[in-house]
Amino acid sequence: MSAADQMLALDTSCKIFVDGGCGFQSPGLHSFIFKPMFTVGGLEFNKPMLLALLTTLVLCVFFWKAFANPKVVPGKLQMVAESGYDFVRRGIVYETIGKKEGEKYVPFLVALFFFIWLMNIWSIIPLAQFPVTSIIAFPAGLAIMVYVTWMSLTFKRHGFVGGLKNLTGYQKGLGAVLPLVMLIEFFSNVLVRPFTHAVRLFANMFAGHLLIVMFTIATWFFMNGMGWLYTPVAFVMVCVMIAFELFIQAVQAYVFVTLSASYISGALEEAH
Amino acid sequence: MNLLQIAAEGGHSEEQNPLLPPMPELVIGLIAFLIVFGLLAKMLLPRINKVLEERHAAIEGGMEKAEAAQIEAESVLQQYKDQLAEAQREANRLREEAREQGVALIQEMRAEGQRQREEIIAAGHSQIEADRKAASLSLRQDVGKIATDLAGKLVGESLEDSARQSRVIDRFLDELESKAPADAEAGATR
């Protein structure tokens, strides 16, 4: 099989009004499963993995070029990188955790933001055209890392009992409902949070990719006979979805990082 | 063979749950992130933070320098104003002093003039007194001599008996003098 078959999510011969042809190939779960492209030491590399590694490469090169030899009077690249850095540092970390406590977590959250953002952006980059974060493994890994950071911070800051109180929203004044509240809070904080944290990002990118693929396939599918009448509509929808995704990609990266910051902030909070 | 078929086949053979993370992807994703995180945290962000601080310090420093210059300028201006006021006061003081000195000088000179005038007047008085005394003395001798001569001529003989002669003259003169002070006093009251 050729490389082109690897790249495409549809059979190009499948069109409307073709005699003995096939129906519309709607995208689905299969659009998110990739054959391994090559194998290194028993590890099979597929497209999302390569894109993840490419994300690392691009980010490292970009930030290296921007920040390796920083100037007091910045060049263009440094200025762009600085504004991004400043956005996360001031806009997210200082706002959520506070300047004094938050400074320590700035590198983690800055790396997290740009990593997720770029992994999302692959969705609309020609040839890549796949959001890496729509494979649950990638958001899950990051969410687990945030979870571990958050949990260890909670217990380090408050001790075991204090940490449990922090996680279960312990408040003496609640009286009889306290056990119920503690149960719900524990369930919602400790068990559900990491799951929703990862799935929120995953599902958004998953759905966005599904929509773009569907309209793209539709554009191609209609390119025959009378179908040409519908092609422009589908194509416009592709453009609209791409623009919308560009927005969603940034928003989801922002949401993921803001939530991470607020979890960390909650761990650092004084006991009530 | 197209991807759809591959996917469909793969989907049937492997458990196809989009919420179950496959291990290789999880590990690769974490490694990919940790590389970015490590590079940023250990190398690049400390550098840019240093530069950002430097820039902040440079801007702050420039402002501080400007502020310091302004404060200095103000203090210098104040100093000049003080000096000017001081000079003005000094000039006023000098003028006042000069005026006072002038007044004192005039008074002194006036006093001196007064004193000199009095001295001159006193000298004139004593001179006049001395002249008067000398004149009266010589007049007394002359009058005595003339009177004696005249009397001698009148009696035709020389009155050689000087004792008698002087007694006569003195008596005459005493009479004169007892008249003269009365005249002099009458002249002074007038």
Taking only the tens place, the pLDDT of each residue in A54-99 is: 999 999 999 999 999 888 888 899 999 999 999 999 999 999 999 9
Burial of B15 (0-12, 13-18, 19+ CB in 10 A): exposed
Owner of token pair 């030899």? A69
Q: Could you give the CA distance from residue A166 to residue A186 in angstroms, rounded to a whole number? A: 9
Owner of token pair 């380090």? A156
Residue B187, amino acid: G
Looking at beta carbons, which residues of chain A come within 8 Å of B40?
63, 107, 110-111
Q: Which residue, A219, A258, A256, A252, is CA-closest to A121?
A: A252
Residue A79, amino acid: M
A93-136 pLDDT, tens digit each = 999 999 998 999 999 999 999 999 999 999 999 888 899 999 99
The tokens describing A158, both together, are: 């408050």
The β-bridge partners of A43 are A40
The tokens describing A51, both together, are: 């894109």
Question: A40, A72, A130, A201: best mutation site toward chain B, by most B Cβ within 10 Å?
Answer: A72
Are A45 and B42 within 8 A, CB to CB? Answer: no
A144-196 pLDDT, tens digit each = 999 999 999 999 999 999 898 888 888 888 888 888 989 999 999 899 999 99
Domain that includes residue A241, residue range: 47-268
Question: A78, A135, A209: best mutation site toward chain B, by most B Cβ within 10 Å?
Answer: A135
Write down the pTM of the prediction.
Answer: 0.69
Summary mean pLDDT of chain B? 82
Residue B21 touches chain A, beta carbons under 8 Å: yes
CB contact (8 A) between residue A112 and residue B33:
yes
Are A122 and A128 within 8 A, CB to CB? Answer: yes
Measure the CA dihedral B103/B108/B113/B114, to 10°: 100
Are A32 and B18 within 8 A, CB to CB? Answer: yes
Burial of B143 (0-12, 13-18, 19+ CB in 10 A): middle
The Cα-based distances of A224 to A22, A196, A215, A220, A236 in angstroms read: 13, 43, 16, 9, 17
Q: Of B36, B47, B54, which is closest to A59 when you measure between CB atoms?
A: B36
In this prediction, what percent of chain A has a pLDDT beyond 70? 94
Looking at beta carbons, which residues of chain B come within 8 Å of A94?
none
Phi and psi, residue B26, nearest 5°: -60, -50
CB contact (8 A) between residue A32 and residue B18:
yes
Is residue A41 classed as helix, strand or coil in its secondary structure? coil
In a domain, residue A34? The reply is no
Phi and psi, residue A159, nearest 5°: 80, 180
In a domain, residue A64? The reply is yes
Burial of A156 (0-12, 13-18, 19+ CB in 10 A): exposed
Q: Could you give the CA distance from residue B12 to residue B14 in angstroms, rounded to a whole number? A: 6
> What letter would DSSP give residue A225?
G
The tokens describing B178, both together, are: 């007892």
Owner of token pair 């519908």? A230
> What letter would DSSP give residue A212?
H
Residue B59 touches chain A, beta carbons under 8 Å: no
Q: Could you give the CA distance from residue B57 to residue B65 in angstroms, rounded to a whole number? A: 11
A36-54 pLDDT, tens digit each = 888 887 788 888 999 999 9
Split at pLDDT 50, 70, 90, the class of B13 is very low
Q: ipTM, 2 decimals?
A: 0.87
In a domain, residue A178? The reply is yes
Q: Could you give the CA distance from residue B4 to residue A33 in angstroms, rounded to a whole number? A: 10
Q: Could you give the CA distance from residue B28 to residue B22 in angstroms, rounded to a whole number? A: 10
In a domain, residue A77? The reply is yes
Q: Is the dihedral of CA B165, B171, B173, B176 positive or negative?
A: negative
Owner of token pair 């310091």? B68
Number of domains into which chain A is organized: 1
CB contact (8 A) between residue A64 and residue B39:
yes
